[in-house]
Chains A and B, each alone.
Chain A
Amino acid sequence: MVQGPMEPSLRSQANTTEATIEVNVNVANFSTFERKKRTRTEKRIVELKATLEKTFEQSVMCNLYPRTVIQVDIHVLAQDGGLLAGMTNAMTLALIDAGIAMYDYVSSVSAGLHDQTPLLDLNSLEENDMSAITIGVVGKSEKLALLMLEDKMPLDQLESVLAIAIAGSHRIQDLMDTELRRQGNIRASKMTQS
């Protein structure tokens, strides 16, 4: 859920030239197969939060909203691999839906390497026993706004994995675009009716 741009709760939080993006990540207790209590201060969650904040600071036109805070609450209800990628895509869509000006889509996908074969969008079983990289691509370029690799991967294979991941991200972006336009049309037709 996106709230804002709004007045920050503390005056000291305000940045006079740009909007501040604040992300709250809430991973539900029931999101994994085994139910597990999580705290919001867990290192992994703080890391995800910081990653998202920094990524979107660059792709949202923050300079249009000085002295404001854009607050984004993310609830993870179910997870089966590709957590960061899913959160990034959801956040892009939510920000666009909220009408916040962005330069371009940030689309994200995870990719792994099994032996020599690169695989796209791993589920959590796959994620557990092969190395996965998550990338975030801005628009239709080959520019990476976000990169996260946590397990070993041979350096020489990096290129092929990146290639498939970038292609995957572009596909995700097309899907997001179609869906947004469909929703937009529904809304527009509702408006003309009333």
Chain B
Amino acid sequence: MILSPAERSYLYDSLIQKPTIRPDSRAEHQMRPLEAKTSFLPGSNGSARIRLMDGSECIVSVKAKVVVAAKEANLIECDVDVVGFRDNSNFVSNLKFNLTNLLQQNFPSDYLRLTSKYSFKLFIDCIVISHSSYPLTLISLTSYLALKTTKLPLLVSETNDEEIAELPTFSDDWDNAKPIADYFKGKGKEFQPPIFITLGYVGSNLIFDPSVEEEQVLENGLIVTFYNNKVITPIANMNLAVNSNNSNFKGLNQTAIIKSIQMGNKFGGAIIRALDALIEQDDDNDAIF
């Protein structure tokens, strides 16, 4: 929804207050409420679906395939599909690049290694069914849930197959399949996929997860990456309001970046904990929602 000049001015003034006043009475570090469902696609190794209160919805599927490790440049491949946008549009390719880059850089793909020759390759497909605000956070949270609940079948053949010509074999019993997290635990590490957090900069306030109305009056938008309990690079800034011209948009103060890192460090953990709690609570009933 595009705001009128009067609405913009009203919203801007309320957002630059100290402390900030947001139209949906959220605190500055609060995300929008969401509901989620995991592991609902029978044909995928992992899947998740998130619906925000404004009706935005995203579905992510993770599919694994056995590949010859030496032949693959990357063991993770992402694809993003946004309804109403062409696959080769700037908007979609930007989202796709961000997500692919994030996961390829920060996912220790060594853990996907099966045997000396073979490895799993993960295909992460995102469909954004509808969105109003910039959907990067939505996509990354959904893919977090999907990756977290991805199960890979249990390997029953030898791990050392340098001399063996056959393909690796797996246990037929899906109950024996293990989540990716277990592969990590075996090597003494916690499995926590990276996520993006979008922040809006307005006045000298930073607001988490700006809604579509808020996006239109922002002075700048920031995307920070949160991984292993701290903010990491890439940190980027961009105009989040893609479909309307943002007349308030201006350059970014360096203190804003420092502040965004601090806030990310402070509140990112809570987001991850909330997501993990969602997975725990998710019951096995068949309803998708």
Q: Which of B26-34, B57-65, B89-97 contacts A (4 or more CB under 8 A)?
A: B57-65
Contact B83–A30 (Cβ < 8 Å)? no
Does B186 count as interface, using CB distance less than 8 angstroms?
A: no
User: Considering the complex, which residues of chain B in the window 32-46 have a beta carbon less than 8 Å from any beta carbon of chain A?
Assistant: 41-44
CB distance from B275 to the nearest CB of A (A): 21
CB distance from A86 to the nearest CB of B (A): 14
Partner of B83, one of A26, A32, A77: A26
Contact B41–A73 (Cβ < 8 Å)? no
Contact B63–A35 (Cβ < 8 Å)? yes
Does B81 count as interface, using CB distance less than 8 angstroms?
A: yes
CB distance from B135 to the nearest CB of A (A): 15
User: Considering the complex, which residues of chain B in the window 58-82 have a beta carbon less than 8 Å from any beta carbon of chain A?
Assistant: 59, 61, 63, 65, 79, 81
Contact B130–A75 (Cβ < 8 Å)? no
Does B127 count as interface, using CB distance less than 8 angstroms?
A: yes
Digitize A1-30: 1 where CB-to-B-CB distance is under 8 Å, 0 elsewhere.
100000000000000000000001010111
Contact B130–A30 (Cβ < 8 Å)? no
A26-B83, A75-B59 given; A32·B43 CB < 8 A: yes
Contact B42–A28 (Cβ < 8 Å)? no
Query: B45 — nearest CB in chain A belongs to which residue?
Result: A30
Q: Which residues of A contact B129 (CB under 8 A)?
A: 1, 73, 75
Does B267 count as interface, using CB distance less than 8 angstroms?
A: no
Does A33 count as interface, using CB distance less than 8 angstroms?
A: yes
CB distance from A97 to the nearest CB of B (A): 13
Q: With contacts A26-B81, A78-B42, A80-B42 known, what are 20 further pairs, Cβ within 8 A?
A: A1-B129, A1-B130, A24-B83, A28-B59, A28-B125, A29-B79, A29-B123, A30-B41, A30-B63, A30-B123, A32-B43, A35-B65, A35-B125, A37-B79, A73-B129, A75-B127, A77-B127, A78-B41, A78-B43, A78-B44
User: Considering the complex, which residues of chain A in the window 28-72 have a beta carbon less than 8 Å from any beta carbon of chain B?
Assistant: 28-33, 35, 37
Query: B40 — nearest CB in chain A belongs to which residue?
Result: A77
Contact B81–A30 (Cβ < 8 Å)? no
Q: Which residues of A contact B44 (CB under 8 A)?
A: 30, 78
| Residue total for B at the interface (Cβ-Cβ under 8 A) | 16
4 tightest CB-CB pairs across the interface, nearest first?
A: A30-B61, A78-B43, A30-B125, A29-B125
- In angstroms, Cα B183 to Cα A101, docked, is 53
Scoring A1, A26, A35 by chain B CB atoms within 10 A of each residue's CB, the highest score goes to: A35
**Residues of A participating in the B interface, judged by any CB pair closer than 8 Å:** 1, 24, 26, 28-33, 35, 37, 73, 75, 77-78, 80
CB distance from A28 to the nearest CB of B (A): 6
Q: Which residues of B contact A32 (CB under 8 A)?
A: 43
Q: Which residues of A contact B41 (CB under 8 A)?
A: 30, 77-78
Partner of A28, one of B61, B65, B130: B61
Q: Which residues of B contact A78 (CB under 8 A)?
A: 41-44
Q: Which residues of A contact B130 (CB under 8 A)?
A: 1
- In angstroms, Cα B105 to Cα A100, docked, is 47
Query: A30 — nearest CB in chain B belongs to which residue?
Result: B61
Q: Could you give 27 example pairs across A and B, Cβ below 8 Å?
A: A1-B129, A1-B130, A24-B83, A26-B81, A26-B83, A28-B61, A28-B81, A28-B125, A28-B127, A29-B79, A30-B41, A30-B43, A30-B44, A30-B61, A30-B63, A33-B43, A35-B63, A35-B65, A35-B123, A35-B125, A37-B79, A73-B83, A75-B59, A77-B59, A77-B61, A78-B41, A78-B44
- In angstroms, Cα B79 to Cα A77, docked, is 14
Q: Which residues of A contact B81 (CB under 8 A)?
A: 26, 28
CB distance from A91 to the nearest CB of B (A): 15
CB distance from A34 to the nearest CB of B (A): 9
Digitize B106-119: 1 where CB-to-A-CB distance is under 8 Å, 0 elsewhere.
00000000000000
CB distance from B287 to the nearest CB of A (A): 11
Scoring A28, A31, A37, A75 by chain B CB atoms within 10 A of each residue's CB, the highest score goes to: A28
Query: A79 — nearest CB in chain B belongs to which residue?
Result: B43
Query: A39 — nearest CB in chain B belongs to which residue?
Result: B87
Q: Which residues of A contact B42 (CB under 8 A)?
A: 78, 80
- In angstroms, Cα B78 to Cα A69, docked, is 33
Q: Which residues of B contact A30 (CB under 8 A)?
A: 41, 43-44, 61, 63, 123, 125
Q: Which residues of B contact A75 (CB under 8 A)?
A: 59, 127, 129
